[in-house]
Amino acid sequence: MTTTTTALDLGRYVIDPGGSSVTFTTRHLFGLGLVRGGFAIRSGAVELAEPVSASAVTAELDAASFRTGHASRDATVRSARLLDTDRHPRIVFVSETVSEAEVTGTLTAHGVSRPVRLAITDTTVSAEGSGFHVRATTRIDRTAFGVTAMRGLAGRHLELTVEVTCVHASLHDGTAGWER
């Protein structure tokens, strides 16, 4: 994990959707083909506290933003057959424990909640200390969330990379991205 030494103020930080992403890789066709894609982050926040273990993280993804660059595959994944984004439009993460190395919490997708551990691989603080960027990774088993159709054709596990840019709530206007 890489961390800079610029101090951050305690308090509320807002996730900047424009400067943040959730990307994944998975396998399809019985593990032969690599698929890359992502989801858009709708909103989220980090409550930075001292000690760090008193901090909290929430994030909401737009399930219908699922994309791989293949229109028919994306439509199938968003359909009732898999993600069923009409009935389950949001994917939500709420932390339970936070440390400098990982964030654990509950991920709710497809109407099912399961524990998830995100390993923090990089943290960068803005030069003026008004925000930060975090990269974390995790592995998700889609079948644990009730997304079970198309076994063999659609990958079971997704290797997720979460990159979030957070801006101190007092500085966030909801429109501008944060430069790393």
Secondary structure (H, E, C), 107-127: EEECCEEEEEEEEEEEEEECC
User: How high is the pLDDT of residue 116?
Assistant: 98
Residue 44: domain span: 11-168
Of 148, 146, 156, nearest in space to 113 by CA: 146
User: How high is the pLDDT of residue 36?
Assistant: 94
Per-residue pLDDT band for 173 (boundaries 50, 70, 90) equals low
Please report whether residue 175 resides in a domain: no
Rounded CA separation 38/42 (Å): 13
Per-residue pLDDT band for 156 (boundaries 50, 70, 90) equals confident
Please report whether residue 16 resides in a domain: yes
- 69-89: per-residue pLDDT in tens? 999 989 999 999 989 999 999
User: How high is the pLDDT of residue 2?
Assistant: 45
Q: Identity (one letter) of the amino acid at 147?
A: V
Please report whether residue 62 resides in a domain: yes
Domains in the chain, number: 1
User: How high is the pLDDT of residue 29?
Assistant: 63
Please report whether residue 52 resides in a domain: yes
Please report whether residue 6 resides in a domain: no
Per-residue pLDDT band for 148 (boundaries 50, 70, 90) equals confident
Of 79, 89, 84, 3, nearest in space to 42 by CA: 89
User: How high is the pLDDT of residue 63?
Assistant: 96
Q: Is the pTM of this model over 0.95?
A: no
In this model, does residue 55 exceed pLDDT 80?
Answer: yes
Per-residue pLDDT band for 1 (boundaries 50, 70, 90) equals very low
DSSP for 36-89, written as a single string: EEEEEEEEEEEEE-SSGGG-EEEEEEEEEEEE-S-HHHHHHHHSTTTT-TTT--
| Mean pLDDT, rounded, of the chain | 88
Of 177, 159, 157, 154, nearest in space to 167 by CA: 177
Please report whether residue 59 resides in a domain: yes
Burial label, 58 (beta-carbon count in 10 A; 0-12, 13-18, 19+)? middle
Please report whether residue 91 resides in a domain: yes
Maximum C-alpha span of the chain: 49
Q: The domain that contains 121 carries what CATH number?
A: 2.40.128.110
- Which residues lie closer than 8 Å to 26 by C-beta, 6 or more apart? 34, 35, 37, 154, 155, 156, 157, 158, 159
Please report whether residue 100 resides in a domain: yes
